[in-house]
A and B are shown apart, each in its own frame.
Chain A
Amino acid sequence: MNLANPAEASNRIQEKPRGSGKAAKSILIGLGVAFILIMLVLPLITVCVYALKQGWEVFSGAITDPYAIKALQLTLLATVVAVVCNTIFGLFASWAISKFHFRGKQFLTTLIDIPFAISPIIAGLVFILVFGRIGWAYDFLQAYDLKVVFAVPGIILATIFVTFPFVARELIPLMQAQGNDEEEAAALMGANWWTIYRKVTLPHIKWGLLYGVILCTARALGEFGAVSVVSGHLRGKTNTLPLHIEILFNEFQLTAAFAVSSILVVTAIIILILRNIVEFKGRKEESEHVR
């Protein structure tokens, strides 16, 4: 096909779905929109509507409830620690995997993915088996008066476990695509690893890194399964926001449950917007520099 004239070429592509194709196109789009409306938009609207059903007083009462605030604080703490840990881990892991050759590299890459494959509830149970009363580390922890399970450290550990792969997964393909040439060139001129990392590697991966951090944050905020197992549901102590919502729901305080939910919904939407901005900027920059 002669693509000498790009305008002509794009016309040809657009001309294709005429007639019966046009109907198929509208049906497909209609189905897609309907699906998204029923599965995503409707529930989100319901949450917000339900949250405000009994008026602003009840809503603000539910979200300023001391237990709700405690739960929010714990959720934020777990999220921040998990994101920091996984970012540091992700940076090192992606560097090791993409820039060096070593035995067991494939195995390590697979290991990183385990949290994606394993149900969060199993992750929670694992921590109970290791650190709990029946766990093998229990005596040791007891000796130093450390509490992991049914306490804040357990919640943080579970959150870290569940959000473990996000940053590393985002960075590894990026860094592999970049190759080692630039690093090699910098090393040949006598730059040390820190200079190379800061000046050559990091500028390349910064948007990917940010993207990974955002995904990691979103997942950490909403984590329910693994945290539920290790938390013990102690109100004001080991309750995260999602767990708090569950408790409210089980107590038939539907409006309060939805009110607290709306906090998570709003953060989710903010994160989604941030994610899109980062993705857009990253793509734009990549299309500029990687040619």
Chain B
Amino acid sequence: MYVELKDVNKEFKGFRALNDVSFSIEKGKLVGLLGPSGSGKTTILRTLAGLVHPDSGDIWIDGKRVNDVPASKRGIGFVFQNYALFRYMTVFDNVAFGLTVEKKDKKFIKQRVNELINLVGLEGLQDRYPHQLSGGQRQRVAFARALAPNPHLLLLDEPFAAIDAKIRKELRLWLRETINSLGITSIFVTHDQDEAVEVADEIVIVNGGRIEQKGNPADIYKSPATPFAARFIGESLVLDRHETLHGFETYSGYDQAVIRPELIQITKHGKQPILHASEDGIVEDVFFRGSLIEVHVNVKGMRLIGHRSPEEEPLLPGEKVSVLIYRLYLYNEDKVHLAENVRLKDENTVFI
């Protein structure tokens, strides 16, 4: 393993920021630390960088225990949340800073900086100051600056938080492609699951200073390991009376259930072929979301959210509909169980 944390703990004035954090990362992977704000994900990143010193536990980078290695000697590139560009230096000087500090040859610095400026697509902007750049351009400078001294580990703290939504998507793809082409092991922190799913090879879900789950995005999506992961990933909705739903009567002993829009099919009343497995519901609200239509349905006093295609016959609030639930994630305190609709199974229907 290239980067490894073992039982790392950190307390800030009585607040347990990291609680026995252990995980490891393979060389060359792009990993997303995903969690709500205050979950400890940034602390993990800063601990790796050496900006925070753990109370206990070991940090290994490239086969070396780095607990006592100062931040500047760990060979890490760090992209700060607000980029922390040196505002009184030009783009060139910003990118060159790390190399100047290492007292590298002037000619080499010039060549390396120009190479990086080309890599991030900021040709011609060398002499600008950070305040003369857009958010996206600043991020690119921060990225180039972190890469200049040739780090073997790149850490990015909420790299997209300060960028407007439109450019964000574009930058995500760009960052992913650039990091992959460089092959540098990278860890980024985000609270946005779309971002994590889209950019990362692997996701580590962090909550309350603990690691909840680590895996590739598809696995985490399909089989959440903890109740928190089930609730946090996807457009999850928590139900507390799942045993009353058709097809789920036999699942007992669980506290609550999580359901996502893609696990529900909503059809006009009378057009559902597998009637015995579905529920009757009343449409509460219909929202047009561009590429899809979000439908809120009341089923036995519980509100479910499903998606429909704009191509389908439109539904109106107050209309009676059939709701077919394929699957639910059932959980109690610490266990998650994927529950299939039993009535669907009995019939052996090839519907999904």
Contacts and interface: CB of A to CB of B under 8 A. Distances in A.
B88 A289 contact: yes
A interface: dominant SS = helix
Interface residues of B, number: 25
A289 B129 contact: yes
A167 B78 CA distance: 34
Interface string B71-90: 11100101010101111110
A189 B86 contact: no
Contacts of B102: 190
B224 interface: no
B87 A188 contact: no
A276 B237 CA distance: 60
A200 interface: yes
Given A188-B49, A190-B72, A289-B131, A199 B86 contact: yes
Contacts of B165: none
A270 interface: no
Interface string A280-291: 000000001111
Contact of B86 (A182, A188, A288): A182
A181 interface: yes
A187 B78 CA distance: 11
Interface in B39-69: 49-51
Interface in A245-291: 288-291
Given A181-B80, A199-B86, A289-B88, A187 B131 contact: no
Given A184-B51, A289-B131, A291-B131, A190 B88 contact: no
Interface of B: 49-51, 71-73, 76, 78, 80, 82, 84-89, 97-98, 101-102, 129-131, 145, 149
Given A188-B50, A203-B88, 20 more contacts: A181-B82, A181-B84, A185-B86, A188-B76, A189-B101, A189-B149, A190-B72, A190-B149, A191-B97, A191-B101, A199-B86, A199-B97, A200-B88, A204-B88, A288-B129, A289-B87, A289-B129, A289-B131, A290-B87, A291-B131
9 contacts: A181-B82, A182-B84, A184-B51, A187-B72, A190-B72, A191-B72, A200-B88, A289-B130, A289-B131
